[in-house]
Amino acid sequence: MINEDDDDFLNAARRERGALPSGEYVAEIVPGSVVPFTTPQTRGCTVRVKICAGDHCGRVIRLRFLEDGAPSLDGMIARDIEALASWQKAVGAGPSPRQDGIGGVLKAIWVVSKSRDVFLRLTTKTGKDGVIETLLLSARCDDV
């Protein structure tokens, strides 16, 4: 059973088999999974989330959030930051210090999400190179 979508990330066949259907999932951040990254064009963080209920319970999905990059990527960065802002608002986490970046935001979300059902609306996007990536669209939490 595939339970790690971030392993062997360039293996298209495996991803085709393992792509998570678009939908809303109860999910939680895997502790310690926030990893900053930098490329020549971008800066951001990845985080793993674990599906906690439903048909895909137990699966761990990697989400990637862009924080900064070339002006041509502004649309993608805005999409990622808006999704993260939706998650932050849904769980009632306060704004984080800017110097901590979105890694700090994700940690704050994790702290206030413990023992609560947080619903993440996820979708799957296939890039031009065939890479399948799971994207966060928005979040909600009924007990806020």
Partner 1 sequence: MFSSLPGFAATHLVVQGQGKLATKQIRRGGDGCLEKIDYSEGAKWWRMSPFAAADHGAMAAELEKLAAMPRSLLVMGDCVPGLDLALEHRRRWAASEPLENTLLAVPRAWLAIDADDAPVPAPLGDAERLVEGAIHVRDHQLPPEFSNATMLVSPTSSSGLRGATLFRGRLWFLLDRLIPLADLRAWAMGVRTVGGAVDPAAMQAGQPIFTARPQFVGMDDPIPPHLLATVVSGVRDRVDLNADRFAVKVAEIERRLQSVVACTGLDWRSFLRRTLGGELSFHEPLKMGLGRAARSGERDEAIITFTVALLAKRADPARRAQYNAAWIGRTLKSFRAKDGHTRSRLEAARASLFAEV
Residues that bind partner 1 (CB under 8 A): 71-72, 74-75, 77-78, 81-82, 84-86, 88-89, 94-99, 102, 105, 121, 128, 137-138
Cβ pair 15, 4 in contact under 8 A = no
DSSP conformational letter for 72: G
Q: At its nearest, how many Å lie between partner 1 and the CB of residue 98?
A: 4
Burial letters for 10-30: b for 16+ Cβ neighbours within 10 Å, e otherwise? Answer: eeeeebeebbbeeeebbbbbe
Give the integer Cα–Cα distance in Å for 19 and 3. Answer: 11
Cβ pair 62, 92 in contact under 8 A = no
Q: At its nearest, how many Å lie between partner 1 and the CB of residue 62?
A: 20
Cβ-based neighbour number of residue 134 at 10 Å: 20
Cβ pair 89, 108 in contact under 8 A = no
Task: Report the residue number, 34 or 81, with the smaller CB distance to partner 1.
Answer: 81
Q: At its nearest, how many Å lie between partner 1 and the CB of residue 29?
A: 16
Task: Report the residue number, 115 or 143, with the smaller CB distance to partner 1.
Answer: 143
Task: Report the residue number, 56 or 89, with the smaller CB distance to partner 1.
Answer: 89
For residue 50, what are its two tokens?
């674990």
Task: Report the residue number, 49 or 77, with the smaller CB distance to partner 1.
Answer: 77
Q: At its nearest, how many Å lie between partner 1 and the CB of residue 114?
A: 21
Task: Report the residue number, 50 or 84, with the smaller CB distance to partner 1.
Answer: 84
Q: At its nearest, how many Å lie between partner 1 and the CB of residue 7?
A: 27
For residue 101, what are its two tokens?
């970046």
